[in-house]
Amino acid sequence: MLYREAGQFKTSYDADQAIFPILQDRIFVLALIAIAFLAPPALGMSEYLYTEILIPFLIFSLAAVGLNILVGYCGQVSLGTGGFMAVGAYAAYNLWLRVPAVNDLVIVFLFGGLMAAGVGILFGLPSLRIKGFYLAVATLAAQFFLDWVFARVKWLTNYTPSGSVAVGNLSAFGIDIDTPVARYVLILAIVAVLTLVAKNLVRGHIGRSWMAIRDMDIAAEIIGFRPLRTKLLAFAVSSFYVGIAGAMYGFLRLGAWEPLAFDINRSFAILFMVIIGGLGSILGSFLGAAFIVLTPIILNQLPGWLGISMSTALISHLEFVIFGAMIVFFLIVEPHGLARLWAIAKEKLRLWPFPH
């Protein structure tokens, strides 16, 4: 950055192991979080901005963090993200519907996350024997199976036709969550806490066990890691995050949804976020989610901003073409994702304006 770490000496390992060892970084991140909490409500932004941009961005960021734990940190490819989101959403819905005594959203979401974690462990079991593309196919089976369950097991969707369910009169901590601002702040708080937790996990010995399995599973086993336990823990934690993201997506973004909201396309979209953002990077999950959520919207609006008149069909087709080309471009320029681009930029700026 435009500042350097010069003069900031660490006198304890604790200080050296902080998430942001440089003072300016800490100030910057705290300021960013404060702005995220305070600015949108204060500016009185339109509902469109909340429901179409900020809320989806945050929810998908959380799902991407979850998937990144599994794919980026533990090296287990999963195409079942949509299915695990559905588990979170419908588990949360059933608790909310059937046990009115605990309709606090935080508890409801936690329940959704825990159920998704359980299902994740179940579908993670084959990972002991199969790896790579083959595991991806096995998790694809999870996606289709879970789609089928929510379409066919009527009890789970309260016997509504086509499995479409709706929620209303939501509250968390005794506060009604009925405005876009309230929904946004609740989501932001949950995402902030869970992101911190994810960062703590990946920098501790649990995160090292995941990365060891990812980088060389045989060596990891020989120095004492238990492959099955480690992989299943990654599946559980990952699915927990994805499940909470699914529950939030259903409750706070859609309000009413059917199983189709969590189909295979959702799985792919979140996997793309992780790959484009950067495998094995928490920051990358956010960058990837921002890219996938924002780019189509910007491309869609761009002709209007530039004063070019085009038919909506042409715009939406162009959007697909340009979006696809951008994905390919980014993957060629930096296969390690946006997070690596950011790291390289930081490394360069550290010396700027000097070449060495």
Partner 1 sequence: MARASHAGTDVLLSVENISLSFGGVKALTDISFDIRKGEIRAIIGPNGAGKSSMLNCINGFYHPQEGRITYKGVTRRQMRPHEAAEQGIARTFQNIALFKGMSTLDNIMTGRNLRMKTGLLAQALHWGPARREEVEHRAFVERIIDFLEIQHIRKVPVGRLPYGLQKRVELGRALAAEPDLLLLDEPMAGMNLEEKQDMCRFVLDVNEQFGTTICLIEHDMGVVMDISDRVVVLDYGKKIGDGTPDVVKANPDVIAAYLGTSH
What does the binding site for partner 1 look like in residue numbers (CB under 8 A)? 12-14, 17, 197, 200-201, 203-206, 208-209, 211-212, 214-216, 218-226, 233, 237, 280
Q: Which residues contact 201 (CB under 8 A, 6 or more apart)?
A: 69, 207, 237
- Rounded to a whole number of angstroms, the minimum distance from the CB of residue 216 to partner 1 is 5
Confirm if 98 and 165 have CB atoms less than 8 A apart. Answer: no
C-alpha span between 224 and 57 (Å, rounded): 39
State the minimum distance, in angstroms, from the CB of residue 69 to partner 1: 12
Distance CA 82, CA 258 (A): 12
Shortest reach from residue 350's CB to partner 1, in Å: 14
Instruction: For partner 1, give the closer residue by CB, 243 or 250.
Output: 243
In whole angstroms, how far apart are CA 177 and each of 48, 58, 102, 166?
A: 17, 17, 15, 15
**98: exposed, middle or buried (C-beta count within 10 Å: 0-12, 13-18, 19+)?**
exposed
b/e per residue, 245-270, with b = 16+ CB within 10 A? bbbbbbbbbbeebbbbbbbbebbebb
* 52 vs 75: CA distance, rounded Å: 32
CB closer to partner 1 out of 8 and 265 = 8
225 touches 212 (CB < 8 A): yes
CA dist 124 and 212 (Å) reads 18
Phi, psi of 104 (to 5 degrees): -70, 130
Name which of 154 and 226 has its Cβ closer to partner 1. 226
Q: Which is nearer to partner 1, 75 or 250 (CB)?
A: 75
Nearer to partner 1 (CB atom), residue 14 or residue 168: 14
- In the three-class reduction of DSSP (H, G, I as helix; E, B as strand; rest coil), residue 171 is classed as strand
CB of 15 to partner 1, least distance (A): 10
Q: Which is nearer to partner 1, 16 or 47 (CB)?
A: 16
**Amino acid, res. 176:** D
Q: State the minimum distance, in angstroms, from the CB of residue 289 to partner 1.
A: 22
Q: Which is nearer to partner 1, 149 or 201 (CB)?
A: 201
Beta carbon nearer to partner 1, 241 or 251? 241
Q: What is the C-alpha separation between 270 and 67, in angstroms, rounded?
A: 8
End-to-end CA, the chain = 15
User: Whose CA is closest to 126, among 136, 113, 116?
Assistant: 136
Of 75, 62, 85, 110, nearest to 282 by C-alpha is: 62
Minimum distance of partner 1 from residue 235's CB (angstroms): 13
All residues at 6 or more sequence positions from 339 whose CB lies less than 8 Å from its CB, including other chains: 277, 278, 281, 283, 284, 287
CB of 348 to partner 1, least distance (A): 17
Q: Are 242 and 198 in contact (CB under 8 A)?
A: no
Neighbour count for residue 225 (Cβ, 10 Å): 18
Smallest distance from partner 1 to CB 343, Å = 11
Q: Minimal distance in Å, beta carbon 210 to partner 1? A: 10
Measured from the CB atom, the residue of 136 and 206 that comes closer to partner 1 is 206
Shortest distance (Å) from residue 3 CB to partner 1? 19
Choice between 214 and 253, CB closer to partner 1: 214
